[in-house]
Structure 1
Amino acid sequence: MVRFSILLALLLFTTVAHAELEVQVEPRNDAARKNIEAFIGPVTATSREAMWRLARSSREQALSALQALGYYHARVRPRVTGEDTDPVLLLEVTLGEPVRLDNVTLEVSGAGQDADYFNFPLSRHMMPGAQLHHGHYEDTKSLLQNQALQHGYFSAEFLENRLLIDVEDNLADIILRYDTGERYSLGEVSFSETPFDADLLQRMVPFRYGVPYEADLIAEFNRELLSSGYFEAVQVTAPADLAVDGIIPVQAQLKARKPHSLGFGGGFSTDVGPRVKADWTQHWLNSRGHSRGAELEVSAPRQKITSWYQIPLTPPQSSHLRFFSGWQREDIDDTESQSMVIGGLLQRRLENGWNRSIGLRLEQERYSLGDDSGRSTLLIPSLGFQRTVSDNSMDPSRGYSLMMDLQGAKAGILSDIDFLRLNLAAKGLYTLWDNHRFLTRAQVGGIASDGFSSVPPSLRFFAGGDQSVRGYDYRTLAPTDDTGERIGGRYLLATSGEYQYEFRPKWRAAVFIDHGNAVDSWKGPMKTSTGVGIRWVSPVGPIRLDLARSMSDPDEGFRIHFSMGAEL
C-alpha cells in the first residue's frame, strides 16, 4: 500500500481542443481525453524535432491526468505527425483496468457530529466498488469544510484524511475522520457612524445575541439593511478571528443614502393611454427613521395626487405605520368620480413570508354612474395579505403571487351604507426546457350589501382590458342600467391561461385565452377571448403587445393591448 496525493487541477475538464495535440483513447473515454488535454494545455513547436522534445513531459503529464481518474495501469505512446513546420503531438492511450474503492471510512466527531448538515449520504462515486476518482475524494473533503464554515465550526479540522492506493490489487481505501470542534455564536452588533439612533439600528438586527452562527443570517442581515431604504451601501461581517470564548462580534459598515430623491417617469398602456408620474421622497427626516413623500400621476382618464408619512416599527425594514391622504379624479367610459381619502395603514412582513396590511380610511366620493349620481361617505377598515415568490423580480422563470383584500363599512359609523367587499387574486408562472413558459392568473371578487345601488364606483367591479379579458376594452365588461351605460357589477371573475415561447433571447411569442366578466349574479354570462402577442424583456422591464378578439361577441372586432410590468 502506498500513499498518493495529486493536485485537483488535474480534474479541470474543458471542451477546448488544441490543434497541436491529439489524444486517442482506447477504449473511447471522453472524460479521460478531456482531462489529459486540460492538464497538458497547448503544445506548440516549430519543428518535429522540437515536438519530440516535448513528448516525454507530455506523456508524464498524461499519465498523471489518468491516475487522477483512477487509471494507474494506463499506457501512453507519443507520436509526432504532420508537416515538419506544423507538427502535431499524438498521444495513443490504452486505459487498462481502473482502481476501485475497497473501504470508505467517513467519521465526524465533535459538537456537530449529530447535525444533519454533517451527516450527508456519500455519493455513489464514494461507495465501495466505485471507480477511484481523486476529484470526488477532494469534493467530499471540501464539502465537510464548507459545511463547517457555513454553520460556524471555525475550529474544525481533519484528524485523518488519507487516500491509500494498492496499485497491484487495483484497490484503494479512503479514510476521512473530521472533528467539528465547538460551534461559534453571534455576539453584539456594532454599527459604523450613521445619522440614526442606536435603538433604530438594533431593531433591524434579525437575530438575538448568542444565536449559533449561520452564514445565511449574516447574508440576511445585509439584505435587510439594504431593503430598509436608509442606506446606499452595506457590508456586514462576522470575523471569526475576533471571537472571544466562541462569541463572534458582528460589524456593520453603513453609508446612509441621501435623504431626498425626486423622480419622474412616464408610460403608456391601452387601458389609460399615456401617463406621466412624479414623486418626491424624503427617505429619512430624523434620527428615528421617519420618512415621508408625495406622488402625482396624470393620464387622460385619471388624475391622482397622494402624500404619506411613515413611522418604522419593529423590525423597521419590514414593518411600519403609514398615514396617507389623497385626491383622485376618474372619467372612464360611463363613469365619472372624484374622491378624497385620509387614513392609516399598518404593514408587516410575517415570518411565513406573507405581507399583512391592516388599514382604516375615511373616504368621500362624488360620482356619476350611468344615469345615476350620488355622494358617499365611508369609514372603511381593511385587511390584506400578499405574497410573491419568484426566482427573479424583473423577469422570473417560475414563481407565484397571491393576494387577498377584505374591506367593509357599517352604516351609522361615519358611513352611509353597510358593505363587505372581498377580492382574491392569484398568478402562477412555470418554465419548461428554458424557453417554454406557462402563465396563469385568476381573480375573483364579490360585494355583500343591502344597499348596492349606493356603493360608489371605486368599489364596484369592472372587467376588460390588458389585465383582464383582453378581447374587450378597459372596464367595458359590466352590468348596464336602463340606458345601456355600464355601472359596475357586484361580482367579478377573470381567468387567463397563456403559453409563451422564447424564440430568441429576451423575445417571446405568446398565445392566450381569457375568460370572465363583471356581473350582478353568478348566473350572469361569462365572456371568452383569445389572442396572440409578443413579449420583449427590455432593460426597464417586460413590455407586452397583444392582439385579442372576443369569441363570445365576434362583432367586437380585434383589440390591441400594450402594457409594461412584471408578470408576477
Structure 2
Amino acid sequence: MPNLRALDCAMRPGAMQASSLSAIRRIYGAAATASKAEWLNGAALALALTGALAGAPLAAQQRQTDDDLRALIPDSALGDPEGWAKTQAAKKQAVKPAASAARAASAAAPLGDLSVLIPDSPMDEIAGLDLPWPEPGKEEATIPIPPALAAQEDGEMLAAAMERVPPPGATRTAARNPVAEGTKTQERETIMASGRARLVWPADPAAMPEREAFERRFRDLSALQGLGPHDADALAQLVVRGSSDRKLLEKLFKVYGYYDGEVTQSLIGPEPGADGNSAPPSGVRFDMDPGARYHIGVVTTGRLDETGKDFDKLRAALAIKTGDPLDQDTITARTSDLAKLLGEAGYPFAKVPAASLTIDHASDEGDVDVAVQPGGQYRYGAITSALPRVMSPNHLGDIARFKPGQVWNQKDVEDLRRAVLATGLVAGVNVTPRETTPPKDGQPGVVALDVAMSKAPVRTVAGEVGYDTGQGARVGASWENRNLFPPEGSLKLRGVVGTNEQLAGATFRRANFLGRDRQLTVDLYATNTTLTSYAARKVAFATSYERLTNLLFQKPWTWSMGLEVEASEEREGVPSGVTTGRILYITTALPLRAGIDSTDNLLDPTKGHRASLRISPEQSWARETQSRYARIQADASFYRSLDKVVLATRVRLGTMPGTDIDYVAPSRRFYAGGGASIRGFGYNLVGPRNALGEPKGGRSLYEFSIEARVNTRFFGGALQLVPFLDAGGVEAGTVPKFNDWRYGAGLGIRYRTGFGPIRIDVGTPLNPRAGDSRIGVYVALGQAF
C-alpha cells in the first residue's frame, strides 16, 4: 500500500517534495516483505498515482482532493508506513489459506525474475479446454469441420429438423424439411447461373406449383447470373450477389402470394482441391420454404358502381374474387384489363390506380382495393386539327373509323393516331379528349378530340444503284413531295439510266382518298427496255384505285381496279443475234385484283395463307388486227411453323384465252424464271422459244415452290438458312399440258431486320437447256413469297 502522507505532500502547490520521494522509496522497501503479486499491485498503483499527480495542475488537484483524501488515510499508516504494509499483507495471507501451484511459484521467484510476464512464455493448462493451442510460427490454425456438417460433392447437406417460429399472434407451426437423424432430406434442386446458384425446394411438388415460372423469373433477374465462373473476386461477389438474390427470392415469394416464405442462404463448399487444400466456395445455396399461400380476402373497387348499367360488365373484367390465390401478377393484369375496358366503354377520363394490398398474416389473406374513378361516360364530338393546312379536320374525320355521336372508344382513338402517323406527313401525334358537354341525368357527355401534330419533312430525294444478271446495271433517282396537293396529294418524278433500261416518269398519288386506306394513283411514263426475252419502247398511262395493306395496318382483304393505255414498239428477244423488226402494239386494259391475307407478317410470314386473283380484260391493235383477250392469274401461298422451321409453299397458275399469241405484245405475255419465280434459271428465260431460239413467252403458266426457313442461333437468332426447290413451266396453249417442267434448287440466307428480312438466294437449274446459266444469284428485301 503506498504512503498516503507522501501523496498528500505531492498534491500541495510547488514542485515535488523530497519527503514524497523518500516515502515512495519506503513503500518499495516495505513491499519487499510481501508476495511478488502484492508488490506488483502496490508498485503499479504508486506509479500510476505519481504520474497522474505530476502531470495535472497542482492548484486544481488541491481544491478537489485535500479534504476527501485526508479522510481516507488511517492514523496507523501515517505513523509507521512500513509496519502498516506488513500487517495488511499478513491479513491477506490469512484470508487465502492456499494458492494455486502457479501462483505459489510466482510468489517464490526472486524479485528480479520477470519471466512470468513475458507474453510468449508457456501458459498453464486450463481444465476443460481440449483444443490444441496454435503452433508458434504459423499464421493460422486449421480447425477440422465435423464430417456431418461438411458439404457433399453434389451440394446437398445433412439438415436437422428446424421449427419455424410463427409471427406474434399466429397459432400455426410448421417443421422445415424434417428428417430423421442420419438420413438425407428428399429435396428438389435446381442449378442456375452456371452452377453459381442452387435453389433447393421441399420434396413435395405441391409446396409451390408455380415453381417453374418462379425460377424463370429469378433466372432473368438474378445477380449471380452475371458472375463469370473464373472471376478473380468471385468470393466477394458471391457474398454480395448472393445476398441480393436472397432478397429477390423473398420478393418473388410475395409476388406469388407466399408472404411467409423463407430463404436461407449459404455458401456451397469449400470443396477439397486436387492438392488436398480447400478450394474457395463455388456458389450459393438457397434453401426455399414457400410456406402457406395467401388468398384474396375482401375486394373493393372504389367508385366503380357509378358506372350504373355498365358495372356488372366492368366488375367482371376485374375477374378477381374472394378466395382466389393472392397473385400480384394476376391482380396487375386484371387491373389493366379493367382500365382498358373503361376506355373502350366510353370513359375517357377514368382513373384506375394500381391495386393496394392489406395483408393479414393471422388469416393468410390479403384485401385488395382498386380505387376506381370512372369520370363519366362520353360520346364523340368534333375533331380539331392543330395543322389544318397539313391535315384538315374534315380529312381527319375521313381517316377516323368513328363518327360524331358514337360512344367513346379508346381503341378507335389510338387507331386514328397511328393512321395519322402512317401518312408520313407528321413526326408526332397526340390526340386529347376535351369535355364540351358534361354528363347529365344519366346521359353521356360530349368530348371534342384535339389532334396536335408536329410536321415531318415532306420532300424526299432518293437514288439507287444496282446490277442484275438478267436486267444489267442500272442507276435511278427520284424526287417526291408527299403533300404538294393537300391533303396527302404527292407528286413523284423518277428516272432510270441502265444498260438494259431507260425510264422517265411522273406519278401522282392521293392517299386516303374517299375513305380510309384507299389510294388513287395516276402514272405517266416512257421507257425503253432491252431484255433477253423481249425489247420494247413504250409510252404508257395508268391509273388505279385500290385498298392498300401496309406494315402498320395489314389488311385481311385488299382489292384494286384500274385503267391502262399504252403504245409500244416491241419485238421478241435476240439471243441468236438476229434482229427482227419491231411491231407497233396499242393496248388497253381494265385490270382487277382481289386478295385475302391471313398471315401474321407482311414481309416475313410464319403462319397462315394468302391468295389472290387477277383478271385483266384487254384489247390490242397489232398487225392491222384488233384482238380481245384476258390475262388471268391466280396465286396462293401457305405457311406453317414447325418448332424452329417455317415450311412455306407457293402455287401459281395463269392463262390467256381469246387470241393468238402473236397479237399480244411480248411485254404482256407469260414468262417464268428469276428470283420470284423458278430460281436457278435466268429472268424470263423459261418458256417456249421461236425458230431462232429466242424466248417467245406463252399463254399459260404453272409454278410450284417449297422451302424450309430454318432458324439458327447465329447473329442472335437473326439468321435463317433456307433450302428451296422450285418447279414450273410456260406453254403456248391456253390450257397447259404440264409437259415442260423446269426444276431449280438451291440454298438461301435470310438476315432478319426490323423492317423485314434481307434475302440472298443461290440456285442452280436441275434440267437446264442450251444457253442456261449454271448458277443464279438473287438479292432482295422480303421473302421470296
**Aligned partners of 2:317 and 2:334 also within 8 Å:** no
- Superposed displacement of residue 274, structure 1: 2.8
Q: CA deviation at 1:65?
A: 5.9
Deviations 1:534-558 (A, max 9, x none): 3142768513131222247699673
2:650 pairs with 1:441: yes
Is 1:215 the counterpart of 2:425 in the alignment? no
**1:410/1:247 CA distance change after superposition, 3 Å:** same
Is the deviation greater in 105-114 or in 316-325?
A: 105-114
1:226 to 389, 408, 421: 421
1:513 equivalent to 2:729? Answer no
Q: Structure 1 residue 274 and structure 2 residue 473: aligned? A: yes
1:215/1:552 CA distance change after superposition, 3 Å: same
RMSD over aligned Cα atoms: 4.8
Aligned partner of 1:193: which letter? Answer: L
AA at the equivalent of 1:510:
V
Asked if structure 2 preserves the Cα contact closer than 8 Å seen for 1:113 and 1:180, the reply is no
- Counterpart of 2:400? 205
Larger strand fraction of residues: 1
Report the alpha carbon displacement of residue 496 of structure 1 after superposing the two structures with TM: 0.6
Task: Assess, with a 3 A threshold, how the Cα gap between structure 1 residues 255 and 138 changes in structure 2: closer, same or farther.
Answer: closer
Taking the TM superposition and a 5 Å limit, the aligned residue runs for 1:223-372 are: 223-229=418-424, 231-239=425-433, 244-245=438-439, 246-311=445-510, 314-315=513-514, 318-349=517-548, 353-369=556-572
Are the equivalent residues in 2 in contact too, given 1:24–1:91 (CA < 8 A)?
yes
Match for 1:281: what amino acid?
A: E
Residue pair 1:358, 1:384 contacting (<8 A) in 2 also: yes
1:185 correspondence with 2:379: yes
1:147 is the counterpart of 2:341: yes
Moved more, 311-320 or 251-260: 311-320
Kindly provide the amino acid, as one letter, of the partner of residue 363 in structure 1.
Answer: E
Shift of 1:360: 1.6
- Tell me: CA distance 1:180–1:415, structure 2 relative to 1, closer, same or farther (3 Å): farther
Is 1:547–2:763 an aligned residue pair? yes
Distance 1:158 1:534, change over 3 A: closer
Aligned residues: 538
Give 1:118-197 correspondences, 5 Å limit. Answer: 119=316, 122=319, 131-154=325-348, 182-196=376-390
1:375 matched to 2:584? The reply is yes
Query: What's the CA shift for 1:523?
Result: 1.0
1:193: how far off? 2.8
Partner of residue 426, structure 1: 636
3-state DSSP of counterpart to 2:627: coil
Over residues 371-398 of structure 1, what are the superposed CA-to-partner deviations in whole Å (9 max), with x where a residue is unaligned?
6752221222222235656555555545
In structure 2, C-alpha distance between the alignment counterparts of 1:514 and 1:381, rounded to whole Å: 31
On the 8 A contact 2:470/2:532 being kept in 1, the answer is: no
Q: CA deviation at 1:489?
A: 0.4
SS at match of 1:417: strand
Bigger Cα Rg: 2
Q: 5 Å matches for 1:352-501?
A: 353-369=556-572, 373-386=582-595, 391-393=600-602, 395-398=604-607, 400-410=609-619, 416-433=626-643, 435-501=644-710
Q: Which protein has the bigger helix share?
A: 2
Q: Judge which range, 467-476 or 88-97, deviates more.
A: 88-97
User: Do the aligned residues in 2 keep the contact of 1:527 with 1:552 (CA within 8 Å)?
Assistant: no
After TM superposition, give the deviation of residue 338 of structure 1 in Å. Answer: 1.6
C-alpha separation in 1, matches of 2:782 and 2:498? 21
In 2: Cα distance, 1:523 partner to 1:19 partner: 65
| Partner Cα separation in structure 2 for residue 121 and residue 175 of structure 1 | 12
TM-score, normalisation: structure 1: 0.77
- Which range moved further: 508-517 or 352-361? 352-361
2:310 to 112, 123, 148: 112
Q: Deviations over 1:271-297 (max 9, x none)?
A: 323322211212222445433222223
Change (3 A) 1:38 1:494: closer
Decide which moves more: 198-207 or 319-328.
198-207
Within 1, Cα distance between the matches of 2:262 and 2:534? 87
Deviating more after overlay: 421-430 vs 174-183? 174-183
Give the drift of 1:468: 1.1
Structure 1 residues 148 and 449, CA, compared in 2 at 3 Å: closer, same or farther? same
- The structure 2 residue matched to 1:537, chosen from 744, 751, 756, is 751
Structure 1: gaps of 5 or more residues: 1-14
Q: CA deviation at 1:364?
A: 1.2
Distance of 2:652 and 2:400 partners within structure 1: 37
Which residue in 1 is equivalent to 2:48? none
The answer to whether the 8 A contact 1:472-1:550 is kept is no
AA paired with 2:743? S
CA distance in 2, matches of 1:146, 1:543: 40
Q: Pick the aligned partner of 1:26 from 182, 190, 202.
A: 202
Tell me, what secondary structure is at the counterpart of 1:546?
A: strand
Give how far 1:511 is off: 1.2
Question: Which amino acid in 1 is paired with 2:335?
Answer: K
Contact in 1 for aligned 2:464/2:475 (Cα 8 Å) = yes
C-alpha separation in 2, matches of 1:20 and 1:241: 58
The 1:301/1:242 distance shift into structure 2, 3 A limit, reads same
TM-score (normalised: structure 2): 0.58
Segment of structure 1 superposing worse, 448-457 or 344-353: 344-353
What SS is found at the alignment partner of 1:418? strand
CA distance in 2, matches of 1:519, 1:268: 29
Q: Compare 58-67 and 187-196 and name the one that shifted more.
A: 58-67
SS in 1 for 2:347: coil
Distance in 2 between residues matched to 1:40 and 1:441, nearest whole Å: 46
C-alpha contact (below 8 Å) 1:509/1:532 kept by paired residues: no
Q: 1:121 to 1:326 in 2, by over 3 A?
A: same
Structure 1 vs Structure 2: percent identity of aligned residues? 17
Q: Which residue number in structure 1 is paired with residue 739 of structure 2?
A: 525
